[in-house]
Amino acid sequence: MISFLLSIVVLVVGYFTYGVFLEKVLGIDRQRKTPAYELRDDIDFTPLPTWKVFMIQFLNIAGLGPIFGAIAGAMFGPSAFLWIVLGSIFAGATHDYFSGMLSVRHNGLSISEVVGIYLGPGVKQLMRAFTIVLLIFVGTVFLVGPAKIIDGLTSESMGVSFWVMLILVYYFLSTLLPIDKLIGKLYPIFGVAMLIMAVGLLVVLMVGDYHIPELTGANLTNMTLNPEETPIFPVLFVTIACGAISGFHATQSPLMARCMRNEANGRSIFSGTMITEGVVALIWAAAAMVCFGNVTNLNETMAANNNNAAWAANEITLSMLGSVGGVLAVLGIIAAPITSGDTAFRSCRLILADIFKMDQKKYVKRFYISLPLFVIAYALTQVDFGIIWRYFAWSNQTLASVVLWTITAFLISKGKFYMVSLVPAIFMTMVCSTYILIAPEGFSLPNIYAYWGGALITSCVTALFSWYAFKGKLQVT
């Protein structure tokens, strides 16, 4: 329990210390006009109250990741706490703050366009395709996930396909309508459900007879059933993504960069939401470790239920909060992915609009861009959910790595302290390259070869970036 509580405290302190430091590294300008005012169209560019922007950003990024990912990460044991805390502060908050503020500084541009400014047109083209594919994956994952949860709650009377179609209709509307018409009105309600879920579980963990394992040397071992098949490095760092660092966040930040009233709000909107998500992930990881007795029982129970995190989340809420509290908490579980899925499609629309320089004031133009996205997403719902999730997890962290390299290039071009992003960029590159070499959905290499291969790839990427950044190829903008 002490380690769990200290982890929450460290996250909060990190926001008020390291978060302020990141803000000083960037150097905010309170007098600069934000895109919300400069390019106001009352569709995507529209100034919103800071509390509402915070809530929308939090719900955008807090999908299934800090719930499902934290439950899966808890199977490794208390080492999950360590990654959530260190990852959120030194990687996730850095990634989210700078990616959001770079979008603000570049008229609300999508992340693929920002990447192109600092890493060149070739990388921009690659990232355009990569980001669109990732967002369609996200939309599909956050379409199937909540549909299955709702279907389970309704005793499977309607069927998953019915709920998929219903959620798809909502996604279509939220993608086309002005941001303050549907998203801006529904998100505060969904936010209440999320807060009830998190606070409810936290209170039960505090007052209940639960023994959360401590962060000790003996407990920092790999507690999964097959440590050789699921080594902590790199698997844990991909399993817990949204609760520590997630490239998906960078695709969402431009939505709020177009609604921010002042640069001074960036720390709370971007870093603050990441730290809040880290707290949510900590709560779910702790709940998963104790709900089934201990970490060993968690692993055995998950294995008996095909590692179904949705099932585990439902069991945790019902057993720890009771029927009434459990229903409210499950509503939070449903709201979380839905409020990421809708903005995933909206982000995809904006990226395509940026690429084709297409004005978005007319509904018909938004319709033409959006319709193919939903057709593809619906087709992907027929693919095994587990396969989509695994590829999403790796591509998500790969995008985070690219964004961190972009941030580093920006800081170098401005003569600022670039180590804040360089270190996590190198680390996440090692994570992603090692994972794709070791994972079943990748090359399935023996661990030792994957580690050496990951180190080689990371060294090459670092060397290539150094040549680009310090040999005159990087243009100051």
User: 3-state class of 98 per DSSP?
Assistant: helix
- CA–CA distance, 307 with 460 (Å, rounded to integer): 36
Nearest to 97 by CA among 44, 20, 45: 20
- CA–CA distance, 451 with 434 (Å, rounded to integer): 6
Exposure letters 155-172 (e unless 16+ CB within 10 A, then b): eeeeebeebbeebbeebb
Phi and psi at 159, nearest 5°, equal 95, 150
Tell me the per-residue pLDDT of 9-52, one tens digit each, with 9 for 90 and over. 999 999 999 999 999 999 999 999 999 999 999 999 999 999 99
- CA–CA distance, 442 with 411 (Å, rounded to integer): 33
Rg (CA), the chain: 21
DSSP string, 140-179: HHHHHHHHHHHHHHTTTSS-HHHHHHHHHHHHHHHHHS-T
- CA–CA distance, 290 with 297 (Å, rounded to integer): 9
Domain boundaries, the chain: 2-470
Apex 150 CA angle, 62 and 134, nearest 5: 40
Helices 93-105 and 419-438: crossing angle, nearest 10°? 110
The count of other CB atoms within 10 Å of the CB of residue 151 is 18
Residue 254 DSSP one-character state: H
pLDDT in the model for residue 325: 67
Low-confidence residues of the chain: pLDDT under 50: none
pLDDT in the model for residue 103: 96
Tell me the per-residue pLDDT of 184-235, one tens digit each, with 9 for 90 and over. 888 777 777 777 778 888 999 999 889 999 988 888 899 999 999 999 999 9
pLDDT in the model for residue 324: 67
Q: Is 108 within 8 Å of 369 (Cβ atoms)?
A: no
| CATH number for the domain whose boundaries are 2-470 | 1.20.1740.10
pLDDT in the model for residue 362: 85
HSE-up of 420 (CA within 13 Å, CB side)? 25
Q: Is 214 within 8 Å of 2 (Cβ atoms)?
A: yes
Apex 227 CA angle, 215 and 425, nearest 5: 70
Q: Is 407 within 8 Å of 424 (Cβ atoms)?
A: no
